[in-house]
Structure 1
């Protein structure tokens, strides 16, 4: 029973990762920007030979290195094991990104209304993926882990640190785009919509939908 429960947990987590990447790709295909956590990786993929998945994996490794730095002198063995677990799932996440970028390579909106529809669908699917990712409580992805351990190191609130990290990534994306192309590419109004909308959708799905379906009860056993 315990083994079955853990298999279900990891299966739900991996499904969540896939939907999370699918949402990110749909937002990108809207041509209105991308989510803050993916903004820097997306700009790199537009201006270098790196795919979005490759650029994301590099960023995740940097975030993982940052977590080790935050934990110096205060980390426990469990903390370090949690961080090490992020590496294989970061690789899987990056692979899902490239798979979805390929599958939806020809999908482009023909109007601004269509772009908004892509953006809305991407935000909804990304939020659903986030909920499925966090519900099993098995592994924190590198972005969340970075915020978690930064908040612990500096004694700050998790939510405030997350906002600072998201803003920092967007600013880094803007600066990188300006340096490489002398214009802002990859960061648009959709980035702001995703930053605000996904969080609200996660809260709604988590409290109003997921809590009423069998998966929630299974994961609580």
Structure 2
């Protein structure tokens, strides 16, 4: 059996599911830290506060927008499987709920040092999750799908576009929150840390993997 022109193997499916789970675990650590949401969750959360509608709905709205962005950028290269990103977002949401429930077993961040440690654990888990699931070339979460599309169109490395994308999303959230709410919404120092460092950590993991295995993982494969 093949998917996206590649044979479906246990390793490929495992890396995909495991990678998605690591990302949601990173999101849970970010929330537990109390230093702000992850960069990609900042816009949906701001819309949730502004519009007063369910966070799940605003997240779905944001992801549909990103799928449309991919369609505009890739045009003829946009594949039918990319519409499945909306379905994947439902799985991602279930993993997120499960990961947050796991955080009940983690002691609260009762001081700033522990909070920062949790924030950096979040960055590492999200970066590692991206490294595991993106190269499987199954169906990307719309956020990574949009980053891949931008990286392909601009011919820039995935980690570099990841940093620019996260910073742009955080700035957009700040602007929306300040204009409509008069505050910074879900954005905190942890959000800034994520926006700046997740892309760099993906790059470091990629470099370390190449040194250890000699394999160059393609993070722009769609």
Q: Per the shorter chain, which TM-score range?
A: 0.7 to 0.9
Q: What CA distance in whole angstroms lies between the structure 2 residues aligned with 1:54 and 1:158? A: 31
**Residues 104-143 of structure 1 aligned to structure 2 (within 5 Å):** 104=103, 108-143=108-143
Q: What CA distance in whole angstroms lies between the structure 1 residues aligned with 2:210 and 2:8? A: 17
Q: What CA distance in whole angstroms lies between the structure 1 residues aligned with 2:176 and 2:84? A: 30
1:88 to 1:32, Cα distance in 2 relative to 1, 3 A:
same
Q: Which residue of 1 aligns with 2:184?
A: 184
Unaligned runs of 5+ in 1: 217-221
TM-score (ref. length: structure 2)? 0.76
Q: What CA distance in whole angstroms lies between the structure 2 residues aligned with 1:126 and 1:161? A: 16
Q: What CA distance in whole angstroms lies between the structure 2 residues aligned with 1:186 and 1:147? A: 22
Q: What CA distance in whole angstroms lies between the structure 1 residues aligned with 2:58 and 2:104? A: 17
Q: Which residue of 2 aligns with 1:219?
A: none
Q: What CA distance in whole angstroms lies between the structure 1 residues aligned with 2:162 and 2:181? A: 28
Q: How much has 1:26 moved relative to structure 2?
A: 0.8
1:105 to 1:210, Cα distance in 2 relative to 1, 3 A:
farther
Q: What CA distance in whole angstroms lies between the structure 1 residues aligned with 2:22 and 2:48? A: 21
Aligned residues: 209
1:135 to 1:192, Cα distance in 2 relative to 1, 3 A:
same
1:163 to 1:125, Cα distance in 2 relative to 1, 3 A:
closer
Q: How much has 1:181 moved relative to structure 2?
A: 3.1
Q: Tell me if the contact between 2:28 and 2:99 (Cα under 8 Å) persists in the aligned partners.
A: yes
1:70 to 1:136, Cα distance in 2 relative to 1, 3 A:
closer
Q: How much has 1:23 moved relative to structure 2?
A: 0.3
Residue 54 of structure 2 is aligned to residue 50 of structure 1: yes
Q: Tell me if the contact between 1:22 and 1:122 (Cα under 8 Å) persists in the aligned partners.
A: yes
Q: How much has 1:44 moved relative to structure 2?
A: 3.6
1:149 to 1:171, Cα distance in 2 relative to 1, 3 A:
same
1:206 to 1:145, Cα distance in 2 relative to 1, 3 A:
same
Q: How much has 1:211 moved relative to structure 2?
A: 7.1
Q: Tell me if the contact between 2:163 and 2:199 (Cα under 8 Å) persists in the aligned partners.
A: no
Unaligned runs of 5+ in 2: 217-222
Q: What CA distance in whole angstroms lies between the structure 1 residues aligned with 2:161 and 2:60? A: 22
One of 15, 24, 39 as aligned partner of 1:12: 15
Q: How much has 1:210 moved relative to structure 2?
A: 8.3
